[in-house]
Amino acid sequence: MSEQEYLSRDALRALQSERLVRLVARLYQHVPFYRERMHAAGVSPADIRWIEDLHKLPFTTKDDMRQVYPLGLLAVPLTEIEEIHASSGTTGKPVIDAYTRNDLDIWGEVMGRTLEMGGATSADIIQNAYGYGLFTGGLGVHYGAHNIHATVIPISGGNTKRQLAILQDFGSTVLTCTPSYSLYLAEAAREEGLDPASFKLKYGYFGAEPWSEAMRAEIEKNFGIKAYDIYGLTEIIGPGVASECVEQAGMHINEDHFYPEIINPETGEVLPDGEKGELVITTITKTGTPILRYRTRDITFLIRDKCACGRTTVRMHRLFGRTDDMLIIRGVNVFPSQIEEVLLRFEKIEPHYQLIVDRKDHLDNLEVQIEMTQDLFSDEVRNLEQIERKIEGEIASALGIHARVRLVEPKTIPRSEGKAVRIIDKRKI
């Protein structure tokens, strides 16, 4: 726990302002990229005195980061860098985060807060099934576990049989992995004749990919645990940007380090609290590769009401999706998480699905493939068709689009040890 999470709004604003002023001075002095951007925007460090002046500064985008790949945003000599991480780079060149000692300490601190928010203490045994390596998930949780002096089991992702053995042998109390992998673990446990609810797990922190309230309910039921949402991205620090407390009512943003804004993704205009838009983050304390007004492409809104847990930090709603994950089906904007929310209302289907988008005669077609339970699989074809039509009806009434729903045999949708692949867009091929 840190007192920074409980500051009065005035004290927090003063802290954020002071940190922003120092950040801008550093960037202007040491990073040519930012100096040029500020010149182009007609703004100088002297114009930035309060956190409210932030809107005068230019945005940074993922494309900018790719253009300066690998280390064009470095704000300190390379000798001060102690660790480098990179995003998976599935949508282009990877983006890099280079950490100084200061940055690694911040990472440990915010991830420590994250784990504590859900109730973890030094007495907990954290089975960390996020991937270790260049991906930030594994080491982010690892440093957080050290920060709160918990026991961390650095098993990394995959190796499912071993995960199950360790859950049993060591009595792990906390599970950290992607939400989709946690359900895969539960399924694998059952196949071995184990009840996932019989493990000693008390809670889990799940993130790195989109998921829904319905999926949370599945995970909580399967393991008999509390499942918390945790958010982060490589460009900012990795996991630890924001996470849920026991209230499970939005993720507290560690805004003494990561200052959030919400903008209209089309116009760049800053939106008032409560309005949904693209999350923009400024890292006000990082020193290695600090980022000014980074456009995350993630869609959410900010919640300022007082949280029952007592923390005063602003919260962000569970993500609705990312601007680049949004499907436009015949003019209607659809996020995979909205479809997931509908699918998981049905019994007899599994939380394993894929969305396949295709274009025929200039029209977009969406097919939703979802696994049925073994039970349903042995049912009559007529029944299956009825259920398919029913799900189609629910999708149509919830989202206003027609999707073709196809129930597929159990275990035919590929499982992932990291981030699940939910969308197959054949329109790009």
Q: Which is nearer to ligand ADP, 319 or 401 (CB)?
A: 319
Angle at 328 between CA 327 and CA 331, to 5 degrees: 165
Binding to Zn ion, residues 269-308 (CB under 5 A):
307
271 Rama sector, left if φ>0, alpha if ψ -120 to 50, beta otherwise: beta
For ligand ADP, the binding residues (CB under 6 A) are 87-88, 90, 207-210, 229-234, 296, 298, 319, 322
Binding to Zn ion, residues 300-359 (CB under 5 A):
307, 309, 311
CA distance 290 to 25: 12
Residue 186: name its binding partner from ligand ADP, Zn ion, none (Cβ under 5 to 8 Å by kind): none
Please give the structure tokens belonging to residue 419: 């981030």
Query: What is the nearest approach in angstroms of ligand ADP to the Cβ of residue 282?
Result: 15
Query: What is the nearest approach in angstroms of ligand ADP to the Cβ of residue 36?
Result: 26
Residue 245: name its binding partner from ligand ADP, Zn ion, none (Cβ under 5 to 8 Å by kind): Zn ion
CA distance 45 to 56: 10
Across 349-387, b (16+ Cβ under 10 Å) vs e yields bbbbbbbbbeeeeeebbbebbbbbeeebeeeeeeebeeb
Query: What is the nearest approach in angstroms of ligand ADP to the Cβ of residue 207?
Result: 3
Residue 181: name its binding partner from ligand ADP, Zn ion, none (Cβ under 5 to 8 Å by kind): none
One-letter amino acid identity for 376?
Answer: L
Residue 298: name its binding partner from Zn ion, ligand ADP, none (Cβ under 5 to 8 Å by kind): ligand ADP
Residue 309: name its binding partner from Zn ion, ligand ADP, none (Cβ under 5 to 8 Å by kind): Zn ion
Q: Which is nearer to ligand ADP, 185 or 372 (CB)?
A: 185
Binding to Zn ion, residues 242-261 (CB under 5 A):
245, 247
Q: Which is nearer to Zn ion, 251 or 405 (CB)?
A: 251
Q: Which is nearer to ligand ADP, 108 or 239 (CB)?
A: 239
| Residue 258 and residue 283 in contact, taking contact as beta carbons nearer than 8 Å | yes
What are the beta bridge partners of residue 176?
Answer: 128, 205
> Going by C-beta distance under 8 Å and a sequence separation of 6 or more, which residues neighbour residue 13?
50, 51
